[in-house]
Structure 1
């Protein structure tokens, strides 16, 4: 990921809300144009559903818990303004002058 001095045009508030509500699905990553992260989250969700459908509830729960922990970490980094969008630009809370 490249780092840019330019601030992301993506909304800090929208990113926080998407992560908080749909975090395990990875919707916030798609919003932030971080496609690989988003696909990884969707893949983990599909894997968990697949395990549950096969009767492997323990593995399904393990995958969901790991994805949930990952989401909490991303949520924390978003809140403290240390997460970047897919183009390496920081997502910051904008203050209006």
Structure 2
């Protein structure tokens, strides 16, 4: 579902951006530099950077979850092995 929403938003941003080809002045804060560029670049470049930043944050969260899952699986295997060794009949 998330990919569908992302694709719809990406298409809407692209259609809006490409429908506005006129040049605009962009003030690059904090240095005060001014760049003249087509409006579609002023829209798509920040949108792409925001998308990449979100992807990095999401992948970092996924990495932590996968690491925690691996730790829990290891602990589960150790507990299962301990229980299996307790269940074995002892020789007299």
TM-score norm. by structure 2 comes to: 0.42
TM-score by length of 1: 0.41
Structure with bigger gyration radius: 2
Tell me which protein shows more strand as a share of its residues.
2
| Structure that is richer in helix per residue | 2
